[in-house]
Structure 1
Amino acid sequence: MGQEQLKDLREGNRLEAKLAKGGVPASVWETYSAFANTEGGTIMLGVRETADGSLEVEGLADPEGLCKKFWDGVNNPSKVSANLLTNEDVSLVEAEGKTYLRINVPRAPRQLKPVYVSGDQARGTYRRNGEGDYHCSADEIVAMVRDASPSPLDALVLENFGLEALDMDSVERFRATMEAVRPGHPWNKLGAEDLLLKLNAAGRVEGEGALHPTRAGLLMFGYEYEIVREYPEYFLDYREMGDGARWRDRVVSNDGTWSGGLFDFWSKVVPRLTAGVKRPFALSESLQRVEDTEMHTAVREAFVNSLVHSDYYGRRGVAALRYPDRIKIENPGSLRIALDVMLAGGVSDARNPTLMKMFGLINACEKAGSGFDVMRRAAVDAQAPLPAAVESFSPDRIAVTVYLGNAAADQAYGPNFAEAATSGPKPQMRPADESSASKKQEDFSTYPEEERAVLRMASERGEFNRRDVEQLLACGSTKAKAIVGALLEKGAISSKGASRSTRYTLSGE
């Protein structure tokens, strides 16, 4: 990377520059911890920030010596709790006759979190926020420690609860649903207690004595007032959104008119969410009415994924929001795998695998790791923007948006009403008349599939950045840069701004 390229960079959420005149700065380890516990990032030693915020290579007096000292430090447990780096992550870079040290810090796997410094987990755990590193709160550290466990946390037997904490009517409704979708399953004829045992919704402490709910059983079938004894922040919220911030229909877990457990919430909310999706008339090969489309499956998948991946000890609870043109599902907890891996599909690391098994028995979700594949297929089928996911911290939270495209049942707002589901300010989609929309789609048809997806995003959102392309296509920065470069070369898009603040729009807009 040359000097001119460095001048285009700015410190931010994934980039930190330090002079390192006196050797490896002590603050390097705090930034290392922060990047590892957030989204990863790059540290440059021997680079300074100028008055206008750009970066300039100052150079290192002894590059090889400093590089060795850094490796000594990162391998020293009294400096940092885990070394995440390979040889390829640390390199000496020449620019304008000067040398700086570039360190690419990956996001730490959950099994190694929290990554902390100075041997002090409580006071040495950091995360990245904007251009700075901040001390993690006790709640954030405890959440990372929970997620590091190799055991399924929702399988724990809760010996302070009896089976009276569960709504047995909810259990019977689950059985009826399971019998409808799996009529020959041997568990259908079991008594209630035996069924709970098979589901791992109940168990005995050390295999002896009375039955008690497991965490999963309490969440799935428990009364809300019992659930909050174990999960004080537990809250489930569905809203059908109308104009502005008003809602037209709402279901919450604490209103006292129903159990407040996950199964009953799922039963109440799925029909409401899918009511926003068209059900076109279609017949199967056996001339039976086909009730569901790809988009129905995608909406259900997004909803169930949220329920099984939530950290129910986390703040703000689960929120399922139905808009005329999109479904947005939010849940507490950080991602247990990297965002680009989740978007690519095929890999799953459920926070609550027992809940996933239960929902799988009633065909409420697809096989592990296929969620975003299902959502992407539905988006293509409905000519909609691809699904989007955003991870935020403090409090830890995941938001997934499924755009309905031409599958939206309520077309009053038109196909261009959706806002981009990305962090930061979200541009309002611009209305477009039918002829201009058709013209754009016709123009896009001549481009390769991935470029076409980016152009559709540009049309819907108004503008985008390279990070949006990475999320859209579940790809790395190199591929995203190449696709953006190809579209710029073809004159399909235009750029404004510089470096990390660069935004792109359709040409001529």
Structure 2
Amino acid sequence: QISGLYIRKSNYETERRIFPYLEIGDLRHDHIDRVRVMAAERRPGHPWQRLSVEQFLRSAQLLIKDFSTGQEGLTLAAGLLFGKDEVIGSLCPTYKTDAVVRLRDVDRYDDRLVVKTNLIDAYDVLMGFCERHLPDPFVLEDSVRLSVRAIVCRELVSNLLIHREFTSPYPAKLTIDRKGLHTENASRMFFEGNITLRDFNPTPKNPSIANVFTQIGLAEELGSGTRNLFRYSRSFMGGDPSLVDGSTFFATIPDVVGLLTGGDASARQKPSIDDAILGLASAVDSFTLAQAAEAAGVSKRSASSHISALIEAGLLLGEGSTRDRRYRRR
């Protein structure tokens, strides 16, 4: 509690704590190489691509000199981003993310995952967990299909990993239950209360970690992620997000439309039907209603309603009379 009070009252960022005996050999060089490749793929000619490992760590502010003490070395952020699992366990023993699904067994859980690995791998593992347990509604924007599940989960997972207070023993949590999708994590509090777009004033809590995630495309620039949540949460589960900051940060995407309960069957089915029809349209010059129904594994009536929606969305064209009507990609 005393250390937490000190952190809140000072400008000290715990991610910048130097560990004098943490060495470059304690880091996973394959992950460092992977991050540099991802940065270059996102922005050709990225300066990280040409740097040595030590130069990269200095450029990313993961190998620093504290000019108030003269101490120089790798930081906690370096260990959390690239450390081997046993190194992370020694640097930050309480670090973990607990992911739980409670849809059928609400007293215990349907599925659970405890993540203690580096932040880069943790992002992939948690995104995979969300993809396994959350449906992806069919959403079009400017005639292009969007994965609103990927957009919303990306923002929640990256926030859960980046903007947490790593010195707190409070474990980060990701929960999928009948009420929606929730995350919570210890926070370095600058503001207490509900976050809205009207009074939103983004403040970086772990800027070195956030910078690495942003450079490789796993997070948005400061503030953009929150705006994405407010923009796409309604398309995902029918409601606006609830974001509450304090000593613990809480985020909730409410399941207003019953996507995870009563409405989940149709929500899961619709994307696969549309994808099957669009896949058929890409494979042949034109197709009939019967062929679409066969490809999607549904009745002609069901296929007809999906085709009508795809025509309205500008993805398909219908040609010919009712009896000989055929469809093709627009």
Same fold (TM over 0.5): yes
| TM-score, normalization by structure 1 | 0.45
The structure where helix makes up a greater share of residues is 2
With over 3 angstroms needed to count, the CA separation of the structure-2 counterparts of 1:182 and 1:144, relative to structure 1, is same
Secondary structure (helix, strand or coil) at the match of 2:169 reads: coil
Q: Choose the corresponding residue for 1:280, options 138, 141, 162.
A: 138
Q: CA deviation at 1:240?
A: 3.4
Aligned residue type for 1:318: A
Q: Does 1:188 align with 2:49?
A: yes
Once residues 111 and 150 of structure 2 are traced to their aligned partners in structure 1, the CA distance between those partners, rounded to angstroms, is: 20
Q: Paired residue for 1:268? A: 125
Q: Map 1:78-477 to 2 at 5 A.
A: 140-204=1-65, 212-243=73-104, 244-254=106-116, 260-275=117-132, 276-278=134-136, 280=138, 290-293=145-148, 295-323=149-177, 326-333=180-187, 335-341=189-195, 344=198, 346-382=200-236, 384-390=238-244, 396-405=247-256, 408=259, 411-414=260-263
- Distance in 2, matches of 1:250 and 1:226, equals 24
Shift in Å, 1:366: 2.4
Residue 278 of structure 1 deviates from its aligned partner by: 1.0
Supply the AA of the counterpart residue of 1:262. L
SS at 1:365 equivalent: coil
CA shift in 2, pair 1:145/1:334, >3 Å: same
Task: Tell me the residue number matched to 1:26.
Answer: none
Q: Aligned AA for 1:158?
A: F
State the alpha-carbon separation in 2 of the partners of residues 344 and 370 from structure 1. 14
Cα distance, 1:192 vs. partner? 2.5
Q: Which runs of 5+ in 1 are unaligned?
A: 1-139, 255-259, 416-509
**Counterpart-to-counterpart distance in 1, 2:121 and 2:220:** 20
Give me the whole-angstrom Cα distance separating, in 1, the residues matched to 2:145 and 2:54. Answer: 36
d(CA) in 1 for partners of 2:161, 2:243: 15
Deviation sequence 1:100-125 (CA, Å, 0-9, x none): xxxxxxxxxxxxxxxxxxxxxxxxxx
Task: Answer whether contact 1:383 1:406 (CA < 8 A) is retained.
Answer: yes
Tell me the secondary structure at the aligned position of residue 190 of structure 2.
coil
Cα distance in 1 between the residues matched to 2:207 and 2:163: 8
- Structure 2 unaligned segments of length 5 or more: list them: 265-330
Give 1:406 deviation, angstroms.
5.2
Identical columns (%): 20
Q: CA deviation at 1:269?
A: 1.3
Q: C-alpha distance in 2, partners of 1:306/1:215?
A: 17
1:334–1:391 Cα contact (<8 Å) kept: no
Change (3 A) 1:242 1:404: closer
Runs of 4 or more above 6 Å deviation? none
Letter in 2 for 1:297: I
Separation in 2 of the partners of 1:176 and 1:250? 32
Q: Which amino acid aligns with 1:251?
A: L
- SS of the counterpart of 1:297? helix
Measured in 2, the distance between the counterparts of 1:290 and 1:321 equals 27
Cα separation, 1, equivalents of 2:196 and 2:22: 35
Which stretch shifts more, 276-285 or 342-351? 276-285
- 1:249, 1:175 → 2: CA distance? 34
Give the Å deviation of 1:266: 0.6
TM-score (normalised: structure 2): 0.67
State the Cα deviation string for residues 457-496 of structure 1 (Å, max 9, x = none). Answer: xxxxxxxxxxxxxxxxxxxxxxxxxxxxxxxxxxxxxxxx
Checking the alignment, whether the CA contact within 8 Å between 1:379 and 1:405 is kept in structure 2 is: no
Larger radius of gyration: 1
The alpha carbon displacement at 1:175 in A equals 2.5
Q: What is the CA distance between 1:272 and its match in structure 2?
A: 2.6
1:9-59 CA distances to partner (integer Å, 9 max, x unpaired)? xxxxxxxxxxxxxxxxxxxxxxxxxxxxxxxxxxxxxxxxxxxxxxxxxxx
Q: CA RMSD in A?
A: 3.3
Relative to 1, partners in 2 of residues 1:407 and 1:359: Cα closer, same or farther, differing over 3 Å? Answer: farther
> C-alpha displacement at 1:204, in angstroms?
4.8
403 and 179 in structure 1: CA distance in 2 versus 1, 3 angstrom threshold: farther
